[in-house]
Amino acid sequence: MNKNVVSTAWLAERIDEPNLIILDATLPSKIPEQLNGKCIQNAQYFDLKNKFSDTEAIFPNTFPSVEKFEKGCSNLGIKKNSIIVVYDVDGIYASPRVWWMFKTIGFEEIYVLNGGLRKWISDGYKVVDNYKTPSTNNNFKIDFRKIEAFRSYSFIKENLSSQTIITIDARSKGRYNATEEEPRKELKSGCIPNSINIPYTDVLENGSFKSEAELKFIFQKIIKMKPHELVFSCGSGVTACIILLASEDIITCKKSVYDGSWTEWATLERLLN
């Protein structure tokens, strides 16, 4: 299994460890009615949309300021020596985004729970009805050094013809091929020129990541291209991280996320061209 992804059994064995932080990163729109209000023992809610995004930015899900990120982590009781496991209620969706966010600040002990809460329940582990309240608020500080983990509109534009810097689009084939509308009605559908489409659903099965052999098959075209850097994009920077995480142990090259993704690209292409 991907070294950044853990099983329900792995988590169950460590559920009471004092330095373990469990985060539920589920977006409110992705919570099935039958699982609403349910969570893993000791879990806390990771509010990606509000407390861990720049809510004043033009585009959705923009990475927050260092100060806002530090405050959010401090309020969750996160320390430098914490071991973090992040999950979604209904499989894999926003949790890889949270994994990537922590990786960009140099935090190594961060893992995604394969299959999320649904898999946790199906494997026979108990759930509770209330999130844990952290016992302490810490003065959490980060050393933000991985600025190249982010890529901008101008960077993508400058490298459209590159043979070694490749953009991977995690949206559906219909959105990529402009045969279905974008969820944001003000945006046209389509794709960044020369990008490669790997829908995030292609790397998942029943809410969990597919096997390493299956993922290698999916990424074989990319592997043969021997890229210097992969830039992952989607609608607004969330599902791009699913593809990034799926590729982590399979493709060894520099990886980054186009944080503005198609929302920014389509908007700026309309305004600037």
Q: Is residue 246 domain-shared with residue 263, that is, in the same domain? A: yes
Of residues 116 and 136, the one with the higher pLDDT is 116
Asked which of 128, 145, 162 is the last residue of a domain, the reply is 145
pLDDT at 127: 96
Question: With pLDDT > 70 as the criterion, what percentage of the chain qualifies?
Answer: 97
Q: Is residue 70 domain-shared with residue 166, that is, in the same domain? A: no
Q: Is residue 128 domain-shared with residue 164, that is, in the same domain? A: no
Q: Is residue 170 domain-shared with residue 195, that is, in the same domain? A: yes
pTM, full prediction: 0.95
Q: Is residue 19 domain-shared with residue 128, that is, in the same domain? A: yes
Q: Is residue 131 domain-shared with residue 18, that is, in the same domain? A: yes
pLDDT band at 16 (very low <50, low <70, confident <90, very high): very high
Asked which of 110, 145, 180 is the last residue of a domain, the reply is 145
What average pLDDT does the structure give for the chain?
Answer: 93
Kindly give, in sequence order, each residue whose CB lies less than 8 Å from that of residue 185, ignoring residues fewer than 6 positions away. none
Asked which of 130, 145, 160 is the last residue of a domain, the reply is 145
Query: Could you tell me the CATH number of the domain that includes residue 194?
Result: 3.40.250.10
How far is 88 from 213, CA to CA, in rounded Å? 24
Residues 123-149 as b/e (b if ≥16 CB within 10 A, e otherwise) read eebeeeeebbeeeeebebebeeeeeeb
How far is 30 from 134, CA to CA, in rounded Å? 25
Q: Is residue 70 domain-shared with residue 175, that is, in the same domain? A: no
If one counts the domains in the chain, the total is 2
The single residue of 39, 73, 234, 241 carrying the catalytic annotation is 234
Q: Is residue 165 domain-shared with residue 226, that is, in the same domain? A: yes
Provide the residue range defining the domain that includes 135. Answer: 5-145
How far is 254 from 101, CA to CA, in rounded Å? 16
Q: Is residue 16 domain-shared with residue 141, that is, in the same domain? A: yes
The pLDDT of 122-146, averaged and rounded, is 84
Element (H, E) at 8: helix 8-14
Q: Is residue 74 domain-shared with residue 204, that is, in the same domain? A: no
Q: Is residue 115 domain-shared with residue 41, that is, in the same domain? A: yes
Active site residue 234: yes
Q: Is residue 180 domain-shared with residue 262, that is, in the same domain? A: yes
Q: Return the amino acid letter for 210.
A: K
Of residues 273 and 36, the one with the higher pLDDT is 36
pLDDT at 144: 66
Give the tens place of pLDDT for each residue, 238-264: 999 999 999 999 999 999 999 999 999
